A and B are shown apart, each in its own frame.
Chain A
Amino acid sequence: MAHGGGGRAMRALIESILLPAFDNPMLATLEDQARVSIAELAAHGDRLAFTTDTYVVTPIEFPGGDIGRLAVCGTVNDLAVCGARPLWLSCALVLEEGLEIATLSAVAQSMARTAREAGVCVVTGDTKVVERGAADRLFINTAGIGVVPAGVNIGATRAQPGDVVIVNGSLGDHGVAILLARNELALTAEVVSDCQPLYGLVAAMLEACPDLHCLRDATRGGVATVLNEFAACSRVGIRLRESSLPLNEIVRGGCEILGLDPLYLANEGKLVAIVPAAAARVTLAAMRSHPAGREAAIIGEVCAGPPGIVTLSTIIGGDRVVDMLSGEQLPRIC
């Protein structure tokens, strides 16, 4: 437990693993806080965006990522979907006693790589060690600060009848990748988590369509949950077409076998956008020319009613309601 005491052992851990990984002057001072220039913030826009999230995924490594990559992408994406340019992250680690140093080091490296990819710096942090059994290997909390450019006004209340619903690619890859990585199902298949930072894609979308109405990343609860929130907040109906949903064939097969609905599966690099019909074509084209949006697709549209209800035209020609999920489909996926 010496690492948790806040003394020399902890200092050594931070200096040997965390500082070199995140390597930046703001962190290197090892003060109790990061200090950022207000002028630098103001240069990017006129509003601050601030968010936090805690990552408890199991297993901590999975095809397509690990808890470190997830902890950066998740928070950066929560900033990006209001149009904010993500700038700074905090990183708080809760380590279970006995966690291998090599694992910690790999996770820190992964966070650092993903932060560089996303254009953000980890500028402050905290590390705690708890006794065995009080945590499951490693939990991470990250908070993020970003700046929203003047004129961008994305919000869940802005969906209007006639708008179209767009996603940036195949649904449910992360949820199925985690499920298979747990190895409880004796199923093996090549599914890779979609875990990726999305600010670059959002910037391209905003350039094509500055008046983007709604935008959210479809993490826990999937696309269905996000759209139910949009429909409820905007007091509109939303109609989806099952035949338009982009799905990886293996995910589709997995859902068939396991009785899961891909609309509710978690994603970590997928967003749902609602854009005015007039801007649909240009937005879709902009998305498809960005690496994070190659398989972007229009999956439905906003209608007047019934308000708050999301429906799906099924592949066979029927209709059904796509409700909020009751309970969780799977625990600890992010």
Chain B
Amino acid sequence: MRYADEFRDPAMARTLVGEIQRLAGPLARERARPLQVMEVCGGHTHTIFRYGLKAMLPEESIEFVHGPGCPVCVLPMGRVDDCVALAHDSRIIFATFGDAMRVPGSRGSLLQAKARGADVRMVYSPLDALQLARANPQREVVFFALGFETTMPSTALTVLQARREGIDNFSLFCNHITIIPTIKAILDSPELKLDGFLGPGHVSMVIGNRPYDFIARHYRRPIVVAGFEPLDVLQSLWMVIKQLAEGRCEVENQYKRIVPEDGNAQALAAVSEVFELREFFEWRGLGSIDHSGVRMRREFAPYDAERKFVLPNLTIADPKSCQCGEVLKGVIKPQQCKVFGTACTPERPLGALMVSSEGACAAYYQFGRIDMKQQRQASPLEA
């Protein structure tokens, strides 16, 4: 397969792993602990587990910390409850991406609401939801808008399209969030040990590289904007470690084939036309973070489900036993959580990190429960 296989070449991967090992070893010994590199984006977490990259790297010198970049995972329970309430309104067709359907709220998930008779439809794009509105003029279609800057432009453009066409039975339940304030909140955490970051490739395709300058300048941490193929991740990791070895802290762009330095001006214009920053937004596991979410501007009120419908709008505390927040900040590993694999499994997720395949806990549960290195030594596979 062109444009994919080139980024999965095992020989090149071995070369990169060798280089990473050579540079990271002395740095880890100096610190008397492995270098901690956070991949901010859930897409990277998925690549790391899907291709088994963790098992290829020396665990005594490299440790991935899985960041907050899975929008489904950081959705607080209260917002899920709002979704469920909207979905149970008989006027409403509630349209959502599939991976949001299993996220547990305090009164069940959207999937359970659907089983109880709510009209929940799975869509693959906001335009599919707009099409539902065109096809069902008697009903109200609410699209569950979520995601970082990656998905904001397509939602914004869909709203602009609805306004152009005069479609008045379409609205957004807006849960879009922004990555920069969240990275800043993590960097301000007193428990922080992170040595560097893999920057989110798809977010950066929209916002460009400049918004990360403060990470290098103020917090003195290297960040490399990374692509999502396994060689992208390995090369970006090597670039982070090379910066550390050379005593540099810079924003570098490994994903130049997709990410322009200044982002996508048209996409940003559409986003700022439709959305504005909220004072604060609640994150599951991380609590309230200032300016970390967006809402629709007042002139788009007719398309804003929060203004159009009455929502319960309650703040629901995470289950006490759940340690998603500590996992998100890299303080503990998923399997160190008290309920990992017992009270919290992909079949019955308690914490949000167990829900989406991009969530760190689900990835650990699905792909990483056993020590692959030990296994490889125990039974070598012939080539």
Interface residues of A (CB under 8 A from B): 184-185, 237, 239, 241, 249, 252-253, 256, 259, 301, 303-306, 309, 311-321, 323, 326-327
Residues of B bordering A, CB below 8 Å: 1, 4, 8-10, 13-14, 49-56, 102, 124, 128, 230-231, 345-347, 357, 365-370, 372, 375-376, 378-379, 381
A304 surroundings in chain B (CB, below 8 A): 378-379
A306-B375 Cα distance, complex, nearest whole Å:
7
Q: Using known A-B contacts A306-B370, A319-B372, A326-B347, determine if residue A185 contacts B52 with beta carbons closer than 8 Å.
A: no
B124 in contact with A184 (CB, 8 Å): yes
Residue pair B378, A313 in contact (C-beta under 8 Å): no
- Chain B nearest CB, measured from A98 CB (Å): 21
Could you list some 29 contacts between A and B, CB below 8 A? A184-B128, A237-B379, A239-B379, A241-B381, A249-B1, A259-B357, A305-B379, A309-B370, A311-B372, A312-B52, A313-B381, A315-B8, A315-B10, A316-B8, A316-B51, A317-B14, A318-B230, A319-B376, A320-B51, A320-B367, A320-B372, A321-B366, A321-B370, A323-B365, A323-B366, A323-B369, A326-B346, A326-B347, A327-B346
If A241-B381, A309-B370 touch, whether A316 touches B102 (CB-CB below 8 Å) is: no
| Contacting pair B56 A321 (CB below 8 A) | no
| Contact across chains for A239 and B381 when beta carbons are under 8 A apart | yes
Q: Please name 4 further chain A to chain B contacts, defined as beta carbons within 8 Å, in addition to the given A316-B53, A319-B55, sorted by A numbering.
A: A314-B50, A318-B55, A323-B369, A326-B346
Minimum-distance CB pairs A-B, first 9:
A318-B52, A326-B346, A320-B52, A319-B372, A320-B367, A303-B379, A319-B52, A317-B10, A316-B230
What separation, in Å, do the CA atoms of A305 and B376 have in the docked complex? Answer: 10
Docked complex Cα distance between A61 and B365 (Å): 37
Q: Are A256 and B4 in contact (CB under 8 A)?
A: yes
A256 to B1, CA, bound (A): 10
Chain B, residue nearest A315 (CB): B8
A314 near B52 with CB under 8 A, answer yes
**Nearest B residue to A249 by beta-carbon distance?**
B1
Give Cα A311–Cα B53 distance, bound, in whole angstroms: 14
CB distance from A162 to the nearest CB of B (A): 11
- Chain B residues within 8 Å of A252, by CB: 1
Known: A323-B367, A327-B102. Contact between A317 and B1, CB under 8 A?
Answer: no
If A185-B124, A326-B346 touch, whether A318 touches B54 (CB-CB below 8 Å) is yes
